Amino acid sequence: MSAWMLGVMLGLGLGLCFQRMGWDEPRRVRAALAGRDRMLLRVLGTALFGGMMLVAGLGWLAVLDVDHLEVPPLDGGVVLGALMMGAAMGAVGYTPGSLLAALGGGRILPALSALGGAVAGAWCVQAIPGLIPALKGLFPPLEGTVFRTTLTAPILPALSALGGAVAGAWCVQAIPGLIPALKGLFPPLEGTVFRTTLTAPWLLPGGFWMHGAVGLALLLVLLCAVRSRPSVQEEMLPAAARTAEENAQQPPTPEDTAAETLVAALPQEEPLTLDTVPAELPEKVREALTEEAPDAEEASSEEENEEKSKD
Amino acid sequence: MKHTKAWGAFLGLLFVLSMVAAAPLRLSAAYEAVGLMMPGGTGELPRLALGAAAALPVGAFLGALPGLIRQRKSGAKRASAGWKPCAAAFTGGFVLLAGAGLAGGDLGYFAMGGAVAGTLSGWAALVLMLGAGMAAARLRGRRDQT
């Protein structure tokens, strides 16, 4: 299959997926990042951890060629770029993918503006010669083994040697023959326990199985921990108004309605459901209303005085 | 939104499919390809990313079509955006893709290409991105409230 064809198929699937997820709405992306919309985080977590399991399974079955995996470098460019991308995502609610989805989802003008900015940004970074190497060179790429714990070499040689010398000397003197007896209970373990490198894709030892198991564990934790909650959009939108046909089929009763809903049943009229959304008035309006009240009182008291004087 | 787990699994499947067939999908390469298409631009076109970027709005449109038809039937009109949201979107898009150019990939690449494969750099970039995104979204939320 040609790369073009594969790209088009992936694009169609991703566009559909982003639209159904609501990822094409910048407001929802911002709400998800601010922690107000857990539904979107749940979907993305499922994609991430489910993908881990899938990669592990396909790698184990040799369907996925390990050479197709890419290990991005960890240098100044990645750190700075990731921070910039994150800040832009949180501020405007677009990602490179969601921006294109927004273009097809109906919000054309803001999406076109963001697309223009995105193309200009991508072009500027490439057009300024030496910018990327200079930023990447802010600190050299980390390489090699980051963390390694083996059973054949001590982590803190001096402390281990000191502790071992003291304990060994005491044990040998106190209970002769104890240490060899204890050591003989099971053969010594050897090899690397945990190894994380910046050049190999598999973060954990144990290869595909451990990777898939971690993905499964994280997925289960996500599904248990992040319970479904109505999204911001659902919370903010009032309940849909009932149509006349719906009312005719099944008239609403006061028990069916929420606390903020009022059912108006007028004689010889169809029952009406009214949503009373509590609105907070601006300060100026409130002040004006509170100022009017004493004036009204004064006016009414003046009228009463006039009536009394007439009497 | 219905069937959240199914849509999440489908999203993961698409990105893994890209890895199985060719390489991790990097949508930011499609934006960078604009420079290659200009006169004097040299280099190989990222065909996978360009194909995906071209078809993505079509897929989103197909997904939104039932809603758009309902909207048209009901006669409801969407309020047009003013110049301020458009200016903010332009600036945001600029910073977004400038960052993606520096990092060498976008959110999808680092999350669904790097972190999924268990690379430390992928996880590190993802954590940095989400951390900065959360901070910015909360700041904007506070500003909007005030």
Q: What is the pLDDT of residues A95-104, one digit of tens each?
A: 988 888 888 8
Q: Is the pLDDT of residue B99 over 70?
A: yes
Closest-CA residue of A relative to B108 is: A97
Closest-CA residue of B relative to A13 is: B59
Closest-CA residue of A relative to B121 is: A74
pLDDT given at position A27? 87
Chain A within 8 Å of B41 (Cβ-Cβ)?
A: no
Inter-chain contact A78–B99, Cβ cutoff 8 Å?
no
Helices (H) and strands (E) in chain B — how many of each? 6, 0
* CA dihedral of B63, B66, B70, B76, whole degrees rounded to 10: 20
- pLDDT tens-place string over residues A26-37: 888 888 888 888
Mean of the per-residue pLDDT values for chain A?
A: 72
Q: Select from B9, B57, B121 the Cβ nearest to the Cβ of A104.
A: B57
pLDDT given at position A159? 52
Minimum mean pLDDT range among A38-47, A165-174, B5-14, B85-94: A165-174
Q: Is the pLDDT of residue A187 over 90?
A: no
**Which of residues A196 and A165 earns the better pLDDT score?**
A165
Region A187-203: mean pLDDT is: 60
Minimum mean pLDDT range among A49-58, B29-38, B87-96: B29-38
Q: How confident is the model at residue B40 (pLDDT cuts 50, 70, 90)?
A: low
Q: How confident is the model at residue A271 (pLDDT cuts 50, 70, 90)?
A: low
Inter-chain contact B101–A125, Cβ cutoff 8 Å?
yes
Q: Suggest the residue from A65, A75, A100 to mutate for an interface test with chain B (most B CBs closer than 10 A).
A: A100
Q: How confident is the model at residue A88 (pLDDT cuts 50, 70, 90)?
A: very high
Q: How confident is the model at residue A153 (pLDDT cuts 50, 70, 90)?
A: very low
Q: Is the pLDDT of residue A257 over 80?
A: no
What does the radius of gyration of chain A's CA atoms come to, in whole angstroms? 34
Q: Which helix (H) or strand (E) holds A311?
A: none
Closest by Cα among B92, B132, B93, B91 to B110: B132
Q: How confident is the model at residue B123 (pLDDT cuts 50, 70, 90)?
A: confident
Q: Are A90 and B131 in contact (CB under 8 A)?
A: no
- pLDDT tens-place string over residues A114-132: 889 988 888 888 777 777 7
In chain A, % of residues over pLDDT 90 = 5
Q: How confident is the model at residue A273 (pLDDT cuts 50, 70, 90)?
A: low
**Which of residues B60 and A193 earns the better pLDDT score?**
B60
Taking the C-alpha atoms of residue A141 and residue A144, their distance in angstroms, rounded to an integer, is 10
Q: Are A4 and B45 in contact (CB under 8 A)?
A: no
Strands A145-150 and A192-197: antiparallel
**Which of residues A182 and A254 earns the better pLDDT score?**
A182
Q: Is the pLDDT of residue B28 over 70?
A: yes
Contacts of A236 in chain B (CB under 8 A): none
pLDDT given at position A149? 46
pLDDT given at position A298? 54
| Interface predicted TM-score (ipTM) of this complex, two decimals | 0.89
Contacts of B62 in chain A (CB under 8 A): 12, 15-16, 104
Region A230-245: mean pLDDT is: 51
Q: Is the pLDDT of residue B127 over 80?
A: yes
In chain B, % of residues over pLDDT 70 = 91
Closest by Cα among A66, A302, A16 to A207: A66
Q: How confident is the model at residue B64 (pLDDT cuts 50, 70, 90)?
A: confident
**Which of residues A182 and A8 earns the better pLDDT score?**
A8
pLDDT given at position A154? 42
DSSP state for residue B111 in the 8-state scheme? I
In chain A, % of residues over pLDDT 70 = 53
Chain A within 8 Å of B29 (Cβ-Cβ)?
A: no
Q: Is the pLDDT of residue A87 over 80?
A: yes
**Which of residues A211 and B81 earns the better pLDDT score?**
A211
Q: Residue B119 to residues A49, B111, B139: CA-CA distances in angstroms?
A: 14, 10, 30
Inter-chain contact B62–A103, Cβ cutoff 8 Å?
no
pLDDT given at position A44? 86
Closest by Cα among B105, B140, B136 to B30: B105
- pLDDT tens-place string over residues A136-146: 666 666 665 55
Structure token digits, residue B23 = 């390489």
Q: How confident is the model at residue A300 (pLDDT cuts 50, 70, 90)?
A: low
Helix ranges restricted to H, A226-270: 232-236, 244-249
Mean of the per-residue pLDDT values for chain B?
A: 84
**Which of residues A4 and A286 earns the better pLDDT score?**
A4
DSSP state for residue A226 in the 8-state scheme? S
**Which of residues A192 and A221 earns the better pLDDT score?**
A221
Chain A within 8 Å of B1 (Cβ-Cβ)?
A: yes
pLDDT given at position A155? 43
